Amino acid sequence: MLNIDILDLEIYKFVSGGDGKQHNLALVQYVFDGAEREVKVKPHGNSKTTKPFYRTSEKTKYKLWELADTYPPKDVSHKSLEESGGILKLKSAGGHACDVKQIKNIKLKSRERQGDDFVELIQKC
């Protein structure tokens, strides 16, 4: 039996088992009255298009950072997809870079950070 502490009718604070221990996993079921409704993802805040925006997950960004140190952007995109098992195996839209431009930006930031370390080293001498 599950005890659920309800803050509001829609927000749950924690889930615990019959023994009173809190668990780090919970199954959430959404129940709607009436017919199904389509969920529409909105575009990014300042976007000029109506293309939906899916944020790239932090885990994916970290993996892209690692690959960008070694490979060119197009290869990073392909290797990232290969490592995740292919486009059909992605669990969400955030599991892959939105485009090669995002990887180019990551590569550029990576170079800037590497350059900063070099400048700091010279300044210390």
Greatest extent of the chain over all pairs of C-alpha atoms, in Å: 71
pLDDT one-digit tens code per residue, 4-24: 444 444 455 566 677 877 777
CA gap 119, 23 in Å, rounded = 48
Q: Provide, rounded to the nearest whole percent, the portion of the chain with pLDDT above 90.
A: 6
Alpha-carbon dihedral sign for residues 114, 120, 124, 125 = positive
Closest among 49, 48, 50, 64 to 98, alpha carbons compared: 64
pTM: 0.54
Please give the structure tokens belonging to residue 103. 């990887």
CA gap 52, 64 in Å, rounded = 22
